[in-house]
């Protein structure tokens, strides 16, 4: 079996599962946020549920419109806060100690290898970087899971992506996943598990692995996953992973004779920094093929690239330089803890001296909510995960996706470029 099949079989109490089978699995964690959560809570009430199945396995995060941008956002956050209090859910996060859901759940040690996790947010697949089977669901499924502690799944087929070679300069996990989506398309992994492997993946730090799995959904995947190794296990045992524990952690890996729908092999020698053009993540081009694209805004952060390592890369490029006149460069740390550490390391000072705007952790501009909404005709380069029509504001605006290195360099030049051009 593949790693995904093994995790699902173990959770379902089965010796084996095969793609296409319908199974029911108990859940290790159920997640909802300030956009999807209020809908889930309404459905929870409608179905007659009174108590969640386990308060310790529910996580509610206010991150999409926080700090509250308007009365509706404040009301939604209060609904989550009140529900958490009524149900005894300790894992409710907003403001200090909080941050963007897909960064703080791993950061707080809430997701472990081998677990089955669902979240009412499509980028829940991020946690596959820890060797968990994690996938997004709708608010109604999340409501049922909060009540029952289980969810049904159709066992997905798996695609395997094997990366070899040594990455070119400025090529990161973001470039690898953009290149992959460019090769297979936004529906190339529809309802499949994307498994990432090979020597290059094994040498990536966790931050870049999270980025890769985060964007599996942009290829239509049910999940993204990387088998746990020494890097994974060392990461989850770090002191700053505040609730570290090996309880319920199981390390799985794919069998040598596991069957895949298809195996792709990519050599890093062929991959340069990538930019996804509007209006789909599959519209990728190497940085050498971008041409002259003037920008109005750069966004560095989000659940895709809001890790401390991402901020360090951006700060390295921005240090001693200035954001181009007429460009807004918005930097968004992924969590309160990352923001604090970035401040201690002088990264925030570097950003401010370069003319950047540093935000509290929020999803904000990624979905056109606040903290960087685009007007008609404006262009942004962003380290976010989607560049759909109107995603970041006006339908006539444009979003280009790239890594923190490309976004930072572009903010300085006022047009999309590589740090090599500075």
pLDDT (tens digit per residue) in 56-113: 999 999 999 989 999 999 999 999 999 999 999 999 999 888 999 999 999 998 999 9
Instruction: Give me the pLDDT at residue 95, please.
Output: 81
CATH 3.90.550.10 matches 3-266: no
Please report the sign of the dihedral spanned by the C-alpha atoms of residue 319, residue 324, residue 325, residue 326. negative
| Rounded Cα–Cα distance for residues 126 and 215 (Å) | 7
Weakly modelled stretches of the chain, pLDDT under 70: 238-249
CB contact set of 123 (below 8 Å; sequence gap of 6+): 102, 136, 214, 217, 303, 304, 385
Q: Is the peptide bond before 279 cis (omega within 30 degrees of 0)?
A: yes
Question: Where does residue 220 rank: exposed (0-12), middle (13-18), buried (19+ CB within 10 A)?
Answer: middle
Q: Which residues pair with 58 in a beta bridge?
A: 30
Instruction: Give me the pLDDT at residue 16, please.
Output: 96
Longest dimension (CA), the chain: 61
CA 44 to chain centroid: 26
What are the b/e assignments for 144-159, b being 16+ CB within 10 Å?
bbbbbbbbebebbbbb
| Rounded Cα–Cα distance for residues 119 and 37 (Å) | 10
Q: What is the pTM of this model?
A: 0.93
Q: Which residues pair with 33 in a beta bridge?
A: 61
Instruction: Give me the pLDDT at residue 96, please.
Output: 82
Instruction: Give me the pLDDT at residue 97, please.
Output: 85
Instruction: Give me the pLDDT at residue 242, please.
Output: 44
Is 275-421 in the same CATH topology as 3-266?
Answer: yes
Domain boundaries, the chain: 3-266, 275-421
Instruction: Give me the pLDDT at residue 367, please.
Output: 87
Question: Where does residue 111 rank: exposed (0-12), middle (13-18), buried (19+ CB within 10 A)?
Answer: buried
Instruction: Give me the pLDDT at residue 352, please.
Output: 98
Short-list 372, 217, 379, CA closest to 290 = 379
For the structural domain made of 275-421, what CATH number should be given? 3.30.499.10
């Amino acid at each position: 079996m593949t790693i995904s099949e093994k995790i699902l079989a173990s959770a379902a109490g089965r010796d084996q599962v095969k793609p296409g089978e319908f199974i029911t699995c108990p859940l290790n964690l159920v997640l909802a946020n300030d956009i999807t959560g209020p809908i889930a809570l309404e459905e929870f009430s409608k179905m007659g549920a009174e108590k969640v199945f386990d308060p310790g396995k529910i996580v509610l995060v206010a991150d999409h419109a926080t700090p509250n941008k308007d009365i509706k956002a404040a009301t939604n956050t209060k609904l989550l806060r009140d529900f958490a209090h009524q149900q005894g859910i300790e894992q409710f996060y907003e403001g200090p100690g909080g941050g963007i859901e897909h960064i703080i759940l791993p950061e707080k040690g809430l997701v472990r290898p081998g677990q089955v996790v669902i979240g009412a947010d499509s980028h829940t697949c991020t946690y596959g970087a820890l060797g968990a089977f994690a996938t997004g669901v709708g608010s109604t499924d999340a409501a049922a899971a909060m009540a029952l502690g289980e969810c049904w799944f159709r066992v997905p087929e798996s695609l395997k992506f094997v990366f070899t070679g040594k990455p070119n300069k400025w090529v990161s996990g973001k470039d690898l996943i953009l290149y992959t989506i460019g090769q297979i398309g936004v529906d190339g992994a529809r309802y499949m598990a994307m498994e990432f492997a090979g020597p290059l993946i094994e040498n990536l730090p966790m931050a870049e692995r999270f980025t890769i799995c985060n964007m599996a959904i942009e290829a239509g995947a049910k999940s993204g996953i990387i088998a746990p190794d020494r890097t994974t296990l060392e990461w989850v045992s770090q002191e700053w992973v505040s609730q570290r524990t090996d309880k319920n952690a199981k390390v799985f890996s794919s069998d040598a004779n596991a069957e895949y729908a298809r195996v792709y092999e990519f050599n890093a020698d062929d991959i340069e920094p990538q930019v996804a053009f509007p209006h789909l993540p599959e519209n990728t081009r190497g940085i050498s093929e971008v041409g002259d694209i003037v920008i109005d805004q750069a966004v560095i952060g989000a659940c895709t690239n809001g890790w401390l390592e991402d901020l360090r890369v951006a700060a390295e490029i921005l240090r001693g330089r200035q954001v181009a006149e007429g460009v807004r460069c918005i930097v968004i740390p992924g969590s309160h803890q990352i923001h604090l550490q970035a401040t201690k390391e002088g990264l925030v000072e570097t950003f401010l001296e370069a003319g950047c705007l540093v935000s509290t952790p929020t999803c904000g501009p990624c979905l056109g909510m606040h903290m960087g909404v685009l007007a008609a005709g404006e262009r942004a380069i962003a380290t976010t995960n989607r560049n759909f029509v109107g995603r970041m504001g006006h339908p006539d605006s444009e979003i280009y996706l790239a890594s923190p290195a490309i976004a930072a360099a572009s903010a300085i030049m006022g047009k999309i470029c590589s740090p090599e051009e500075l």
